[in-house]
Amino acid sequence: MKNKNPNYPLDRHMLSEGEQPTLEQVLLDREGRVTYQTQLRAQYSNQTLIVLKVNMPGPVKSNAFVSHLLLIGKTLLLDSIEAQGLNIMVIKEVKTLASQNVFVVVNTDDAYAVKRLTAAIEDSSDIGRLFDFDVYINDETISRQSLNYPARKCYICDKDAKECGRQRTHTVEELLDAMYEIVSKEGRQ
């Protein structure tokens, strides 16, 4: 099931185009996402749930650029899952004004192996740094820290990404420019 990587021209301005969700829309979206994750974890107990999203800075969280990146991330994820010989039980994309996510349930109770797989995607190329893969089994979240992996690095300065975000080290425009450069350099625009 090798997927072709999507290739079509993206304009830098596409990154910030789109409607900004209200705080109420963001909160409702988060509530809906948590409810759906809870339903999947209950329905597929002892199976691993992966939630893919794009690390998108700024107020616009859902536009053509995010959709393009999400497709790339989904392709990388599904190809990696297939290469490991795992079966996919559920794939569902959910796109709202406040977020875009891909939910994948895999038929394994070895969520740590799945987290290693997703961390490898995040760490293996610059474009992987643009994705966030949350991995769950039952009521447990499997983090990079639980695998003794280092924290994610900022895609501008290579320092701790969370620290850069907290300190607002880079402007939204700098982050969007860096994202566009990564996608262009990887030939995926």
Span 138-167, pLDDT tens digits = 989 999 999 999 999 998 998 999 999 999
Separation of alpha carbons 172 and 124, rounded Å = 24
Q: Are strands 131-137 and 140-142 parallel, antiparallel or unpaired?
A: antiparallel
pTM above 0.85, yes or no: yes
Q: How far apart are CA 97 and CA 100, in angstroms?
A: 8
Distance CA 49, CA 90 (A): 9
Four-CA torsion 157, 173, 29, 166, nearest 10 degrees: 40
Q: What's domain 20-150's architecture?
A: 2-Layer Sandwich (3.30)
Q: Classify residue 1 by its DSSP letter.
A: -
Residue ranges per domain, the chain? 20-150
pLDDT, tens digit, 9 for 90 and up, residues 27-38: 999 999 999 999
